[in-house]
Structure 1
Amino acid sequence: MARPREFDRTEALQKATKVFWDKGYAATSTDHLLKEMNIGRQSLYNAFGDKRKLYLEALESYQDTTVAGHVRRLTDAESPLEGIRQLLAGIAPEDDELRSLGCLGVGSVSEFGPADPELARLRDRTNRILGEEVSTRIRAAQALGEIDESVDVADATGFVLLTMTGLQVSARAGADVASMRRQADFAVDRLAARS
């Protein structure tokens, strides 16, 4: 009996993620995944299970990486308000191809809605982590007078997360970097305390 071909699991997962990110779950065939991942059908099943399990793993890996990048942009700036600006501006990468993909997580919500409990769990975990970080920065901005203390932290956090989603959908729809960054600036300027 022939031994299954060895392959780099991490690299194969990254390739699968790119396919799902580009096409969505329903439009991605197992054959297309096999071709892009450069593995055989049995290797796919042995390493990842089925297409759905592969999708869940790809989405979770994508979200972990993406949230880490969001949090880094949010917290790297000394000014909390500037951190929020960097968070939103980072939704618009310079790379046209990358920007046009939008967000795999937002695509998942658009494709499946709230009905799938496993996807809802991943979405809720991501929203909780990012929401807590945004709330922390909003409170810090209030303490520094960058955001008025009368602004409700939960409402402002929701506004930032909603703006992120809107920017990600705009990216998928073909928005250019300049217009996306103008919208990010507009949103942050709405949060800024009036002098």
Structure 2
Amino acid sequence: MSRPREFNIECALQQCMEVFWTKGFKATSFEDLTRRTQVKKQSLYCAFDDKRALFLKTLALYREQHAAKMEQFVSQEGSPLQKLEKIRDATFTPSAEGSCRGCFMVNSALEFGISDEEVTRQVEMMFREVERMIEQLIRSGQEQQMITNRHTAEALAAHLTNSLLGARMMEKSGASRERIEAVLRTSFALILP
């Protein structure tokens, strides 16, 4: 009979995500993960098989948390433009440590490129989800004549999503907040009628 787990898997997964987010997959050792979670290596292996499987679970967790946050913005009161501005403003939330970690998904895309099919799938799923929600807001804004009709909602959503992701890359590479905000202001100004 196997022993029951003596740790909270959801809590350990969240803590592992924080480590991967800060250090990246390759630079994270199992010792980093056990130190952060205070869970023995064997227990982590039993729960998650290996480092890669654990990393993929943390990507899925991040994607779920990000989607929930985006849904929250979409469902709030306000015009489509106000909701898009809230999404833009939420792009830069400092981590608890005050460091500039960027977006976990963007960081992972940059670290892996297309070398890992599962990582690529998680990244693409999140980016599609974000783009779909932004497209929904843009379409609503176009119907209310708050957003330009010169381009389709799909094209404008791709533009804004790319701008937000690019801003996260700028953040990770050390660009000043002022420079990033200027880029985003321009991108958002381009969707106005």
Please give the alpha-carbon distance, in whole angstroms, between the structure 2 residues aligned to 1:92 and 1:177: 9
TM-score (norm 2): 0.89
Shift of 1:169: 1.4
SS state at 1:69 partner:
helix
Q: Confirm whether residue 24 of structure 1 aligns to residue 28 of structure 2.
A: no
- Counterpart for residue 153 of structure 1: 153
% identical aligned pairs: 28
Residue 42 of structure 1: how far off its partner (Å):
0.9
Relative to 1, partners in 2 of residues 1:4 and 1:144: Cα closer, same or farther, differing over 3 Å? Answer: closer
Shift, 1:77, TM fit? 4.5
Note the aligned Cα RMSD (angstroms). 2.1
Q: Which has the higher contact order (CA 8 A, sep 6+)?
A: 1
Q: Report if the CA contact (8 A) 2:70-2:133 is conserved.
A: no
- Aligned pairs, how many? 191
Between the aligned partners of 2:182 and 2:75, the Cα distance in structure 1 is 21
Instruction: Report the equivalent of 1:109.
Output: 109
Amino acid of the residue matched to residue 52 of structure 1?
R
User: 3-state DSSP class of the match of 2:114?
Assistant: coil
Quick one: structure 1 residues 77 and 176, their matched pair in 2 at CA, closer, same or farther if it must change by over 3 Å? farther
Q: CA deviation at 1:139?
A: 0.8
Q: Which residue of 2 aligns with 1:64?
A: 64
1:133-191 per-residue CA deviation (whole Å, 9 max, x = no partner) reads 11111111111111122222222111111111112112223345554444333321111
Correspondence 1:166 to 2:166: yes
Q: Is the 8 A contact 1:94 1:177 kept in 2?
A: no
2:163 maps to 1:131:
no
Cα contact 1:105–1:123 (8 A) shared by 2:
yes
Give structure 1 stretches of 5+ with no counterpart.
none
Deviation of 1:94 (Å): 5.2
How far 1:40 moved relative to its partner?
Answer: 0.8
Structure 1 distance, partners of 2:188, 2:153, is 14
Kept in 2: contact 1:81–1:188 (CA 8 A): no
